[in-house]
Amino acid sequence: MKRAYADIAEGQMHYRCGGRGEPVVMLHMSGSSSDEFEKTGDLLSEKYRVYAPDLLAFGYSDKPPRTYTLEEHAGTVAAFMDVLGIQNATL
């Protein structure tokens, strides 16, 4: 999968993407990053457009000024999708 960055209000979010078709956004577990989806993303990208962002403070994404709540992380995922023009996706 290709690696890129999306600029949201809170900073840059690193992500991996690949494929074509309906969008799928894969969210990593706490303490991890998008690299856990490298093989899965490659398989899914044969049928779907796959996005695997690093949440803020994880992987290669910017570190937020404080620890984010789960709700705030959800907001950054929504902002990430907005920046990339993803209106609907399977999470």
Residue 90 lies in a domain: no
Task: Please compute the mean of the pLDDT values over residues 52-65 and round it to a whole number.
Answer: 94
We report the CATH number of the domain holding residue 36 as 3.40.50.1820
Q: What is the pTM of this model?
A: 0.93
Q: How many residues does the chain have?
A: 91
Q: What is the pLDDT of residue 66?
A: 87
Whether the pLDDT of residue 65 is over 90: the answer is no
pLDDT tens across 14-33, in order?
A: 999 999 999 999 999 888 89
Q: Which domain holds residue 63?
A: 2-84
CB neighbour burial string for 29-66, b if at least 16 within 10 angstroms, e if fewer: eeeebbbebeeebeebbeebbbbbbbbbbbbebbeeee
What is the band of 11 on the pLDDT scale with cuts at 50, 70, 90? very high
